[in-house]
Structure 1
């Protein structure tokens, strides 16, 4: 899939397409694993596939809607500028190849959990994983909706949104994504031998907090305006928490 997306990106001169298909890529992995393992007959596999579709389709649809008509993401424009004509080729491995590798590691609970579904029955901890997933999915979905609605009003251009979930965390969507993948991990574990799958939510948590999520956006917003600085000072960066008093 990543090679096909790379070919499309060359034609449209926009590698941001890789972000739009991030969620849908996991759907393809989960669906392919389910079909190859005949997991559709088992409850754990049914849950893993259904929840992945719910998360992945919503995320990809939202990003496609949000990015429609926009130029290439600033991150990729900067990379394109630094690398010049070489970017067309190097983007295959520094953008598409890297995301493909990360997707493979993060999706391990979907692959192994469905593959082992015939060996184990669902237990109470697995249902806890389902509950954690839904809390995270709601956090992510509601956070995206609240911010999109705020930005849809021209009068709010350049202003800070600090209402709803955004009053308690600067990144409710990333916190929600964090819970989604911890929930899927817990759901996927049917045996003690499967605990090694924890590398998936750990990697996703690291990316969300330290690499492409919280840390990146906070660096971009830090010096934007005094209003943004005040918002960052009083609002929790990640875990929802009541805002500090001025």
Structure 2
């Protein structure tokens, strides 16, 4: 088996960075025009699609064709679905309260502050997390059983994320349920089926890349994504925002915090 094409991979990195910068520049221009920097959330998924597309083009003739196409398709389906969901949810609405709170701290220009505190950090995280995809595109060797397990895990995560988002959208659309807590469907087994699904998607993508050397070395990339979802900005911020809602503490007491598990009986220790 030929060695990993390190020179070609390193040569692709500036082009990947250029793709990310171009996307963020367009997003920033649109956000300034709309006076709504939460548009960045909509392009989060497509940012990974851009990385995957650039890496797919530049890895032609180097990486395994099957793995390259598989990674491109999986990332594109996930990224486009996420963008459509977030875009429809935010359409016509005001600025996200998280961004309002953040930009209220701006010592000068809010746009310049957003550029430093929103776009630059998210661009850096996007690049680091996507290293799994970038390396996987150049990985040598045919697809094996680990990649097959990765696809199964990706499918599980995609179903949880898609169905969970759909159930939440339908729940919020019912005026009679306003101010209540969704505790049915997938939300009966985990308080965050969408975040769990996202984590499973990225764990699955990692397994596809790790099926061939040196993809296994990119473990920190999905780890950062999963840590962000479960312990940093995903689950913690959502639960903080929901903490004052009637019935939410009872929901916490009965429902798993992240991994899907059977509902707990009354009096059982929270997980």
- TM-score, normalised to structure 1, is 0.95
Alignment match, 2:59: 37
What displacement does 1:41 show? Answer: 7.2
**How many residues end up aligned between the 2 structures?**
243
The superposition leaves residues 191-215 of structure 1 with CA deviations (integer Å, 9 ceiling, x where unpaired) of 3433211011110111001111111
- TM-score, normalised to structure 2, is 0.86
Residue pair 1:9, 1:15 contacting (<8 A) in 2 also: yes
Alignment match, 2:119: 96
Matches within 5 A, 1:69-88: 69-83=92-106, 85-88=108-111
Residue pair 1:178, 1:205 contacting (<8 A) in 2 also: yes
Per mean C-alpha deviation after superposition, the further-off stretch among 186-195 and 95-104 is 186-195
Alignment match, 1:243: 263
1:193 and 2:214 aligned:
yes
Distance 1:158 1:224 in 2: 7
Residue pair 2:31, 2:39 contacting (<8 A) in 1 also: yes
Distance 1:194 1:152 in 2: 42
Aligned mate of 1:213, from 234, 239, 242: 234
1:55 and 2:75 aligned:
no
Residue pair 1:3, 1:92 contacting (<8 A) in 2 also: no
Q: Any unmatched runs of 5+ in structure 2? A: 1-22, 267-271
Alignment match, 1:168: 189
The secondary structure found in structure 1 opposite 2:221 is: helix
Residue pair 1:45, 1:114 contacting (<8 A) in 2 also: yes
Alignment match, 1:148: 169
- Deviating above 4 A after TM superposition, structure 1's stretches of 4 or more consecutive aligned residues are none
Distance 1:108 1:35 in 2: 16
Greater helix content: 1
